[in-house]
Amino acid sequence: MLTKLFPTALLAMGLIIPSGAFASDNSNPSTSGAEPAATAMVQKTESPTESHRVGISFKTSLLGMGADVAIPVTQRSNVRVGFSTFNYSRGFDKDGVGYTGKLALHSVQALYDFFPFAGGFHISPGALIYNGNGVSAKAAVPGGSSFSLGGSDYVSSASNPVTGNGKIQFNKAAPMFLIGFGNLARRSERHFGMTFDIGAVYQGSGRMSLNLAGSACDSTGINCQSIASDPTIQSNILAEQNKINHSIAPYKFYPVISIGFGYKF
């Protein structure tokens, strides 16, 4: 009986005990087999934004040309910071005063991009944390030429012609709101993409300052007075400033349209 049971017992033990049960610790198959499963579990529990990297773009917009950098915050949001710059100069004449004007657009933006549908559409509240947008101009009236200030007519003195400068400025920080499409720090393996934004900046009412020097004469070219010391002329300069401030009042809301070409690292 024992001789018949012995081979059967050996066969059962062979089925139950793994072939490497008595192997050394360095080649323990149970440990090596658990490692891939443990690695997979760690990968699954990683932060959802851990594999999402920074994206950059070069853009052109009504704020000028510049660049943006986007950093993922959550699965559906990024923080985006950037800058824009543009300069343009031209000469023009207003009420007989010749101006050499310069439009300067210089700003730094910070935005919070929220993707409500986990796609490219985003809602982006933010601000111009620095708003250097404005206009500056140098003024000149050749001697003997007529000009007007605040509705009054004058003639620039031949011996001391009228010169000066003007400037239009806005709030140095301004809230902004954009909507658009595209994600610089997209949650896919694609590296290249485009962004489009449209919205507005509330930069407040513009403030015009006009400073003139030299001497102004009456409409006949006589009775010349220094602009700096004549209260009537100073009052007319103030009236001219107020007129210009009224004309630029609609620009308290500055439109923004932007197109960018980006790369995700």
- Contact between 185 and 54 (Cβ < 8 Å): yes
3-state secondary structure of 88: strand
What pLDDT, in 10s, does the model give residues 136-149? 999 999 999 999 98
pTM reported for the whole predicted model: 0.71
Query: Considering the domain 59-264 in this protein, what is its CATH number?
Result: 2.40.160
User: What dihedral angle (degrees, nearest 10) is formed by the CA atoms of 195, 196, 201, 207?
Assistant: 100
- Report residue 169's pLDDT band, with 50, 70 and 90 as the boundaries: very high
DSSP state, residue 47:
-
Residue environment code for 140-167, b if the CB has 16+ CB neighbours within 10 A, otherwise e: bbebebebebbebebbbbeebbbbbbbe
What pLDDT, in 10s, does the model give residues 5-50? 334 433 333 433 344 433 334 444 444 444 444 444 444 444 444 4
**What value does the CA radius of gyration of the chain take, rounded to a whole number of Å?**
36
Q: How far apart are CA 164 and CA 168, in angstroms?
A: 14
The helix or strand, by DSSP H or E, that contains position 209, with its residue range, turns out to be strand 207-213
- Contact between 70 and 55 (Cβ < 8 Å): yes
192-202 and 253-264 strand pairing: antiparallel
